[in-house]
Homo-oligomer: A and B are copies of this chain.
Amino acid sequence: MKRSFIREILENTTNETISFAGGLPDEKLFPHIQLKESASRVMNDAISFQYSTSTGLDSLKEKIAQFYNDSGFATSKENIMITSGSQQALDIIARYNNSKDITIEAPSYLGAMNIFNLNNMKQNVVNLNTNGCDTFMFNASFKNSKLAYLIPDFQNPTGYTYSKEKREDVANIVKKYDGILIEDAPYSQIYFEEEYESISKSIPNNSYHLGSFSKTLAPALRIGWIRASKELLEPLIAYKEAMDLHTNGLAQHILNDYLEDKNNFLSHKKLLRKIYKKKMQIFTSFLNEILPSFNYTKPKGGMFIYGKFENIDSSELIKECMKNGVVFVPGAEFYNNINSNNEIRFNFTHCTSNEIYKGLNIIKKIIGD
C-alpha cells in the first residue's frame, strides 16, 4: 500500500520549510486555554479515564445531534457514532462496504482513495466542476454503484462547492436508485460567504454524513463522527468496536465540557471564518501578484486553493521546491492512476503572510514566472 504523500511531506519537512502542503489549521487559533480548563475539570474525576462505550459518550453525541437540529435536520443521539477522526469514520463505512463499487469525484481526497483501495473498492470517477460534479456522469455511475463519496463543501483538494441545484440533483439521483451517499463535510463550517445545506438533509435515510472537529477546533483531539439513520449505523458498531474498542475517552470528555457553553464553539467558528477568509484573500492577492500565470478558482470556504500552471509538471516542480524549502501537493496525488499533471493544491490556513510571500517567490524563481 502507498503512503500518503502529504503525510510523508509532513514528516520530512523541517521547521524552516514553508509548507502549503497539509490541511493544517493555524495552531495560533486553537482555543487551547479554554480546552485546558475543560481538561482540568473533567480530569478531577477518575471516571474520565475508564473504558467507555463503543459509539461514544452520550452527552457528546447529544451535543453533536443538536448541531443538526439547529440547522433543521432532525437528529437524535442514536443517529450519531463518535469516531477517531472522520478518517476512521470513512474506514468503518468502507470496511462494511468492502469490495463494492463506489462513485467518487476526480480529483478527490487522497486519504479517502487510500481507504477505498485498502478495502478493495472499485472507484468510478466523475468529473468535478467549480459548482459540483458532472451530474450526468454521476447518474450513469451511481446507477450501478449505488454508493458514492462526495465532499460538497469547499472540497479537498479543489475548494469547489456544490451549488444548491447540484445538491438537489445529487439527492434526487441517490433517491431514484435508493443508494447511499457518503457526504464528507469536514470543512462545511468554514464558510466565507454563506452556509450550505447538506445533501444528507434531504436524504436522511440514504446517507452517512461525516463531521469532524479537526478543522474547526483541534486535530489532536481526533474526534469525528458519523450521522446516519439508526438502520445504517447499527451494523457499523461491531466494526468500530473491533477496530479500537472506542474513541479516546479523555478527548471526548474534554470536548464535551468545552461544548457545554454553546457560545464557546460558536464564537470560535466565527473567528475562524473571519481569519481564514482574510488568509485566503492574502494568499490569492500574492498569487495574482507573484505567480500571475497560476490559474485557479477562488474558494468560498475551507482550506485550499487549487489550480494549474500551463505546461508545468507539478510532480516535477515539487521536487525542486522541496530542495528550496517550500512544499505544496502536486495534483496527481488526488487521482488514482495518474502519475503527473500540471495541477497544484495550496493550503492557505497555516502559513503567515510573510511565509506565503516568501514561499510563492521561491516558486516564482524556480519556474521563472
User: Which residues of A does B touch, CB under 8 Å?
Assistant: 1-4, 7, 10-11, 22, 24-25, 27-28, 30, 32-33, 35-36, 39-40, 43-54, 84-85, 87-88, 91, 95, 111, 114-115, 118, 214, 218-222, 235, 237-239, 241-251, 253-254
Contact = CB atoms under 8 A, between A and B. Distances in A.
Contacts of A235: 1
Nearest to A239: B1
Given A4-B238, A24-B51, 7 more contacts: A30-B50, A50-B219, A84-B222, A88-B243, A91-B242, A91-B243, A250-B251
- The oligomer's copy count stands at 2
Given A1-B239, A32-B44, A36-B39, A49 B244 contact: no
A242 B53 contact: no
Nearest to A96: B1
A46 B10 CA distance: 18
Nearest to A218: B49
A11 B55 CA distance: 10
A85 B235 CA distance: 22
Contact of A220 (B40, B44, B54, B250): B250
The 3 tightest CB contacts between A and B, nearest first, are A220-B249, A49-B218, A36-B43
Given A32-B46, A241-B7, A249-B222, A118 B95 contact: yes
